[in-house]
Amino acid sequence: MRMLLFFDLPTETAKDRKIYSKFRKFLISEGFIMMQKSVYSKLALNTSVVNAEKEKINKNKPPQGIVQLLTVTEKQFNEIEYIVGSATTRVLNDTERLTIL
- In the chain, the domains with their CATH numbers are 2-97 (3.30.70.240)
Q: What pLDDT, in 10s, does the model give residues 50-77?
A: 999 999 999 999 999 999 999 999 999 9
pLDDT at position 85: 75
Cα–Cα distance, 55 to 14 (Å, whole number):
27
Integer CA distances (angstroms), 58 to 46, 54, 61, in order: 19, 6, 5
Total-model pTM: 0.79
The pLDDT of residue 97 is above 70: no
With a pLDDT cut of 70, the percent of the chain lying above it is 85
In what helix (H) or strand (E) does residue 43 lie, and over which residues does it extend? strand 39-43
Cα–Cα distance, 42 to 26 (Å, whole number):
13
pLDDT at position 95: 52
pLDDT at position 7: 96
12 in helix, strand or coil?
Answer: coil
79 in helix, strand or coil?
Answer: coil
